[in-house]
Amino acid sequence: MTQTTATVNHITDHPSFEGVSQTQQERLFYIEFRLLFLGCVNRTDLVGRFGIKEAAASRDLSLYRQLAPDNLEYDPKGKKYLLGDAFSPIFDHKTFQALSALQHGFGDDFVGVPSSLVTTEAPPQLNCPNLDALSKITKAIYLKKILKIEYRSLSSGKTQREIAPFALINNGLRWHVRAFDRRSGQFRDFVINRFASLVLTDESAPMGEGKDLDNQWNRIVEMHIVPHPSLKHPKTIESEYAMKGGLLKIDVRAAIAGYVLRHWNVDCSEDHSLRGAEIHLWLKNRQTLYGVDNLMIAPGYSNESDLPE
C-alpha cells in the first residue's frame, strides 16, 4: 500500500544512540531527511514541524552532529546546517516514503493543511476510498470481524454478502479489500467504492475464512520481466527499471499478479506480439503464471495458450 507520510526507520547500530527517546529519534530522522533531500536544516524547521522550543531544537542538532559529524556543516551566514561532503545516512530511508513526504508533507501525525516540501505533481486519484467505508473495513481487518455488506458488481448488480476481510490492496487505479466471501465460498477482491452499505458485526471470523487458507494470497510468483523485444533501444528500459543483465526479477503474490502486469503494461503473450507506445516490457517466464486466477486483466494473456495443464 502506498503510504502518504514518511516514518522513522531503524538506524544502523551506533554506540552513542542508546538511550535516545523515540520522540527525539523522530526529530533526528527529520534532520537527516532535510539534509538528504533538501540540502539544509535549521532550528526553525524543527520548531515548526514538532512544536518544540528553540533550545530543544538546538540540542537535537547538536546530538545529530555528535552522531554523524561528517553529515552536516554549519553555515554561519545563513544560520543553518548544510549537507556535508562526506554525508553517510544513519537512518534507512525508503524511496516510496521519501516521495510521499516530499509530496504530501512529513510525519504520520501531520495536523493541518498538507504541503509538499518541493513542487510535485502526480495523476489525480479518481476514486479515493470512501473514508467511512474504509474505517469500517480496517477495523474489521484489525479485529478479525465479519462485515455484512451490500455490494455493487458489474456482473451481479447489488447483492447482500458477508465477508471476512484481511488485507487492503492498491492496484494502482483503485483500492480493493481482500476477503473471504461467504456468498461464493471463495476468497475475492472487492472494490471499496462499490460498497453500498457496511455493518461491522461482533462475529469473529473463523479460522477457515482467514488468509492462511487463501492459496492465491499465500503463493508467491517470481516474474522475469525484460525489455520488450520490439524496442529499438532496449538499454533505455534496462536503465529505467534498474535491470541486471537485462532482467528484472520481482516476487508478487499470485492474488495481485494480474494487477501488477496491467499496471506496468507488461506483454504476457507467448510471442511478445503486443504493440503500442505504452508497451515497454515483456514477461519472459510466462509459465510462472500457471494457476494464477486474475489473469484476464493481464495484457496479452490468453487462456488458450500452451501453459501447462
Q: Can you give 214-235 as a three-state secondary structure string?
A: CHHHHCEEEEEEEECCCCCCHH
Residue 5 has a pLDDT of 37
Residue 102 has a pLDDT of 83
Check: CB of residue 116 under 8 Å from CB of residue 37.
no
Percent of the chain surpassing pLDDT 90: 73
| Structure-derived torsion over alpha carbons of residues 89, 94, 99, 101, reported in degrees to the nearest 10 | -70
Q: How confident is residue 302, by pLDDT bands cut at 50, 70 and 90?
A: confident
Q: What is the mean pLDDT of residues 150-179?
A: 94
As annotated, the residues of the chain forming the CATH 2.30.30 domain(s) are: 131-214
Residue 9 has a pLDDT of 46
Q: How confident is residue 6, by pLDDT bands cut at 50, 70 and 90?
A: very low
Residue 306 has a pLDDT of 38
Check: CB of residue 83 under 8 Å from CB of residue 72.
yes
Q: What is the mean pLDDT of residues 86-110?
A: 80
Q: Which of 37-46, 223-232, 281-290, 296-305 has the lowest mean pLDDT?
A: 296-305
Q: What is the mean pLDDT of residues 213-234?
A: 97
Q: How confident is residue 15, by pLDDT bands cut at 50, 70 and 90?
A: low
DSSP three-state, residue 86: coil
Tell me the pLDDT of the chain averaged across its residues. 88
Give 231-278 pLDDT, tens digit per residue: 999 999 999 999 999 999 999 999 999 999 999 999 999 999 999 999
Check: CB of residue 142 under 8 Å from CB of residue 186.
no
CA distance 110 to 289: 41
CATH number of 131-214: 2.30.30
CA distance 98 to 217: 28
Question: Has residue 76 got a pLDDT over 60?
Answer: yes
Q: What is the mean pLDDT of residues 209-230?
A: 97
CA distance 223 to 301: 14
CA distance 97 to 285: 31
Task: Name the burial class of residue 267, with classes exposed (0-12), middle (13-18) and buried (19+) by CB atoms within 10 angstroms of its CB.
Answer: buried
Residue 110 has a pLDDT of 53
Q: Can you give 234-287 as a three-state secondary structure string?
A: HHHHHHHCCCECCEEEEEEEHHHHHHHHHHCCEECCCCCCCCCCCCCEEECCHH
Q: What is the DSSP string of 95-133?
A: HHHHHHHHHH-S-TT--SS---SS-------TTPPPHHH
Residue 250 has a pLDDT of 97
Nine-digit cell string for 199: 455493518
Which residue has cell 523515540?
Answer: 22
Percent of the chain surpassing pLDDT 70: 89
Question: Has residue 152 got a pLDDT over 60?
Answer: yes
Fold designation for 22-104: Arc Repressor Mutant, subunit A (1.10.10)
As annotated, the residues of the chain forming the CATH 1.10.10.10 domain(s) are: 22-104
CA distance 107 to 104: 9
Check: CB of residue 192 under 8 Å from CB of residue 178.
no
Residue 275 makes CB contacts below 8 A (sequence gap 6+) with 230
Q: What is the mean pLDDT of residues 283-302?
A: 92
Single-letter amino acid, residue 128: C
Q: How confident is residue 307, by pLDDT bands cut at 50, 70 and 90?
A: very low
Q: How confident is residue 123, by pLDDT bands cut at 50, 70 and 90?
A: confident
CA distance 308 to 52: 63
Q: Which of 82-96, 99-113, 191-205, 263-277 has the lowest mean pLDDT?
A: 99-113
Residue 35 has a pLDDT of 94
